[in-house]
Amino acid sequence: MALAVTSSSSSTAISKGIQNGSFRLLSDRPKPRTHGLNYSQRRFSVKALHAESKRNDSIVPLAATIAAHEGAEVVEKVEVEVAEENFEQLAKELENASPLEVMDKALEKFGNDIAIAFSGAEDVALIEYAHLTGRPFRVFSLDTGRLNPETYQFFDTVEKHYGIRIEYMFPDAVEVQALVRSKGLFSFYEDGHQECCRVRKVRPLRRALKGLRAWITGQRKDQSPGTRSEIPVVQVDPVFEGMDGGIGSLVKWNPVANVQGQDIWKFLRAMDVPVNPLHSQGYISIGCEPCTRPVLPGQHEREGRWWWEDAKAKECGLHKGNIKEENVDGNGNGAVHANGTAIVPDIFNTQNLVTLNRTGIENLARLEDRKEPWIVVLYAPWCQFCQAMEASYVELAEKLAGSGVKVGKFRADGDQKEYAQRELQLGSFPTILFFPKHSSRPIKYPSENRDVDSLMAFVNALR
Task: Report pTM.
Answer: 0.55
- DSSP-derived 3-state class of residue 61: coil
Count Cβ atoms within 10 A of the Cβ of residue 188 and give its class: 0-12 exposed, 13-18 middle, 19 or more buried: buried
Q: What is the pairing mode between strands 214-216 and 114-117?
A: parallel
Q: What is the pLDDT of residue 139?
A: 97
What are the pLDDT tens digits along the chain (463 aa)? 333 333 333 334 333 333 333 333 333 334 444 443 333 333 323 333 233 333 344 454 443 322 233 333 333 333 333 444 689 899 999 999 999 999 999 999 999 999 999 988 889 999 999 999 999 999 999 999 999 999 999 999 999 999 999 999 999 999 999 989 998 898 888 777 788 888 999 999 999 999 999 999 999 987 765 555 678 999 999 889 999 988 789 999 999 999 998 899 999 999 999 999 998 888 888 889 888 888 776 666 667 777 766 554 444 445 455 444 433 333 333 333 333 333 578 999 999 999 999 999 999 998 888 889 999 999 999 887 888 889 899 999 999 999 999 999 999 999 999 999 999 999 889 999 999 988 778 999 988 888 899 999 999 988 8
Q: Measured in whole angstroms, how far is the alpha carbon of residue 84 from the centre of its chain?
A: 28
**Residue 200 and residue 143: Cα distance in Å, rounded?**
8
Q: What residues does 234 pair with on adjacent strands?
A: 253
How is residue 31 annotated by DSSP? Answer: P
* Predicted pLDDT of residue 343: 54
* Torsion angles phi and psi, residue 107, rounded to 5: -70, -35
CB 66 within 8 Å of CB 22: yes
- Asked if 406 contacts 363 with a C-beta cutoff of 8 angstroms, the reply is no
The pLDDT assigned to 342 comes to: 39
Point out the residues that are catalytic.
383, 386
The answer to whether 216 and 117 are in contact (CB under 8 A) is yes
Distance, in Å, from the CA atom of 447 to the CA atom of 249, rounded to the nearest integer, reads 46
Question: What is the pLDDT at residue 54?
Answer: 38
- 106 and 255 in contact (C-beta within 8 Å)? yes
In order of 58, 100, 133, 274, the CA distances from 36 in angstroms are 35, 15, 11, 19
Residue 56 has a CB neighbour count (10 Å cut-off) of 9
Integer Rg of the chain from CA? 26
- SS3 letters across 245-290: CCCCCCEEECCCCCCCHHHHHHHHHHCCCCCCHHHHHCCCCCCEHH
For the chain, the straight-line distance linking the first and the last C-alpha, in angstroms and rounded, comes to 73
Residues 201 and 141: their CA atoms lie apart, in Å, by 10
H-run or E-run covering 169: strand 167-169
Please report the pLDDT score of residue 1 as a whole number: 36
CB 187 within 8 A of CB 179: yes
